[in-house]
């Protein structure tokens, strides 16, 4: 408990230090306040955007897109990796798909996606799914393959069929890899989302945080750009610290199964 508090204290301390340096640079007059706003102008812009609801609205749009993308990726990833571990033929298929798609950055697909799906929600979700799916499949496959044979033997020994072995044994046994995959997937999804929103947030009339930042830049509202960035950072930290770390604390860490 003490250590955790200490961590938060450290975080806060360094954030204040960074803000201090920032303030010093803006005071030094080296850069025009137009392109390097002081921290308080940024905070003010952040506060006003929160107040008029714009920032919150765009955040909700982005989060709902990312959540939909993650859920779709999760379902497809589970199906693909389960197929791959239950049959050699499918394993070949999934590995070929992985080899083709995994190294392909989502951004590179955007022109094609734009033509196929138009500049709308579908296009953004497609890009998110592409960014999340492959690392997730890769992790799930590694996880399933890393399960010690003895767990399966013990399961068989008590008369479990394949389906029950999957549920009672493979699922918890592969959880560390699954969590690692979700973490990578989440980070990738953010990147894909923000870039996609910047590219066709306007055309499709969707908006989102990426679009918000882009729009602020167009109007040369640099404090507004920073306000958007702050939201992205806050969400990132919250998800990492509160969600992922907590889930790990009560599962894989407690079980001594971290990878």
Partner 1 sequence: MNLLEIKDLSRSFVTGKNKLLVLQRMNMSVKKGELLSVLGPSGCGKSTLLRLIAGFLKPDSGSISLKGKPLSGPDADRIMVFQDFNQLFPWKTVLQNVVFPLKLKKVGSSRKEREEIARRYLARVQLDEFLHFYPHQLSGGMKQRAALARALATSPEIMLMDEPFASLDGQTRSTLQEMLLKIWQESESTIIFVTHDIREALLLSDRIVVMGSSPGRVKKVMENKLTRPRDQLSRDFTEMYKEIYGLL
Residues that bind partner 1 (CB under 8 A): 148, 150-151, 153-154, 156-160, 168-169, 172-173, 175, 251, 254-257
**What's the rounded Cα separation, in Å, for the pair 34 and 109?**
35
What one-character-per-residue DSSP string does 234-251 give?
Answer: HHHHHIIIIIIHHHHHHT
Find the shortest distance in angstroms from Cβ 246 to partner 1.
17
Nearest to 124 by CA among 58, 217, 210: 210
Shortest approach of partner 1 to residue 165 CB, angstroms? 11
Other Cβ atoms within 10 Å of 244 Cβ, number: 15
Q: Which is nearer to partner 1, 38 or 251 (CB)?
A: 251
CB 152 within 8 A of CB 162: no
CB nearer to partner 1: pick between 158 and 219: 158
Q: How far is the CB of 142 from partner 1 (least distance, A)?
A: 18
Q: Which residues of 148-160 are buried (b: 16+ CB within 10 A; e: fewer)?
A: eeeebeebeeeeb
Nearer to partner 1, 22 or 168 (CB): 168
Tell the smallest beta-carbon distance from residue 153 to partner 1 (Å): 6
Smallest gap from Cβ 234 to partner 1, in A, equals 32
Please give the Cα distance from 110 to 105 (Å, whole number): 9
Residue among 195, 214, 199, 181 nearest 128 (CA): 195
Q: Could you tell me the smallest distance in angstroms from the CB atom of residue 247 to partner 1?
A: 13
Q: How far is CA 84 from each of CA 28, 38, 50, 214, rounded to the nearest angstrom?
A: 60, 54, 46, 41
Per the structure block, which two tokens stand in for 30?
A: 């080296």
Of 181, 182, 198, nearest to 232 (Cα)?
Answer: 198
Rounded distance, CA 112 to CA 1, Å? 51
CB of residue 222 vs partner 1: minimum separation in angstroms? 49
Kindly tell me which of 16 and 154 has the beta carbon lying closer to partner 1: 154
Pick between residue 116 and residue 255 the one whose CB is nearest to partner 1: 255
Q: Which is nearer to partner 1, 52 or 157 (CB)?
A: 157
Nearer to partner 1, 72 or 169 (CB): 169
């Amino acid at each position: 408990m003490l250590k955790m508090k200490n961590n938060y204290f450290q975080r806060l301390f360094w954030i204040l230090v960074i803000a201090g340096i920032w303030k010093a640079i803006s005071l030094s007059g080296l850069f025009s306040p137009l392109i390097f706003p002081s921290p308080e102008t940024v905070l003010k812009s952040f506060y006003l955007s929160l107040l008029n609801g714009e920032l919150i609205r765009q955040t909700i749009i982005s989060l709902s897109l990312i959540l939909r993308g993650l859920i779709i990726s999760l379902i497809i990833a589970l199906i693909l990796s389960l197929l791959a571990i239950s049959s050699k033929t499918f394993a070949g298929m999934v590995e070929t798909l992985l080899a083709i798609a995994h190294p392909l950055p989502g951004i590179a697909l955007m022109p094609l996606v734009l033509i196929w799906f138009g500049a709308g929600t579908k296009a953004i979700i497609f890009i998110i799914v592409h960014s999340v799916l492959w690392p997730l499949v890769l992790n799930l496959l590694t996880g399933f393959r890393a399960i010690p044979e003895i767990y399966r033997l013990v399961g068989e020994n008590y008369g479990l069929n394949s389906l029950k072995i999957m549920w009672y044994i493979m699922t918890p046994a592969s959880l560390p890899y699954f969590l690692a995959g979700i973490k990578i997937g989440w980070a990738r999804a953010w990147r894909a989302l923000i870039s996609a929103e910047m590219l066709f947030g306007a055309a499709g009339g969707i908006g989102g945080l990426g679009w918000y930042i882009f729009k602020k830049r167009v109007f040369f509202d640099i404090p507004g750009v920073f306000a958007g960035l702050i939201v992205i950072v806050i969400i990132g930290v919250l998800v990492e610290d509160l969600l992922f770390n907590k889930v790990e604390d009560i599962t894989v860490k407690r079980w001594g199964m971290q990878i």
